């Protein structure tokens, strides 16, 4: 089955790691292409291409400020990603809670074993043989 175009939906658009990096930057503040290029140390054409894809699926918005375009994330468009990822967050939280419970149970058992009264350990005594005295 052929892969869907990156501009078909937000999930395909964020499949590319560089686009996720750009989105992460734009969550903090509005940035121009040149600023993104400088921060990520990527080529300007590459950043522009990624921004176009993100803008086409609605994940970022742009506004003119003089000669520059400033980009920012579109929180509404990111909502479906957040909700979908939340499903896995609940799963992993459940799994981590189970691991924590097992570890705590194991620690309790160890502590109980350590605090239990100790039985005297059997000593390795062999029956004493009468000594042979030289006459």
Residue 124 in any domain: the answer is: no
pLDDT band at 29 (very low <50, low <70, confident <90, very high): very high
Residue 129 in any domain: the answer is: no
Using alpha carbons, list the distances in angstroms from residue 15 to 1, 7, 37, 69, 118: 17, 11, 20, 24, 59
Q: For the segment 60-101, what is each residue's pLDDT rounded down to a tens digit?
A: 999 999 998 999 999 888 888 888 888 888 888 888 888 989
Query: Domain range spanning residue 44?
Result: 10-75
Residue 53 in any domain: the answer is: yes
- The DSSP string of 46-63 is HHHHHHHHHHHTTSEEEE
Residue 131 in any domain: the answer is: no
Kindly report whether the global pTM for this prediction surpasses the value 0.95: no
């Amino acid at each position: 089955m052929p892969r869907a175009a990156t501009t078909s939906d937000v999930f395909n658009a964020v499949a590319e790691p560089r686009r996720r990096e750009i989105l992460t930057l734009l969550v903090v503040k509005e940035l121009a292409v040149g600023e993104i290029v400088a921060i990520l140390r990527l080529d300007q054409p590459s950043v522009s291409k990624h921004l176009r894809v993100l803008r086409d699926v609605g994940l970022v918005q742009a506004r003119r400020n003089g000669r520059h375009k400033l980009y920012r994330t579109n929180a509404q468009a990111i909502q479906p990603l957040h909700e979908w990822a939340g499903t896995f967050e609940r799963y992993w939280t459940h799994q981590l809670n189970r691991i924590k419970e097992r570890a705590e149970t194991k620690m309790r058992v160890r502590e109980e074993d350590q605090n239990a009264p100790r039985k005297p350990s059997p000593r390795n005594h062999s029956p004493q043989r009468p000594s042979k005295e030289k006459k």
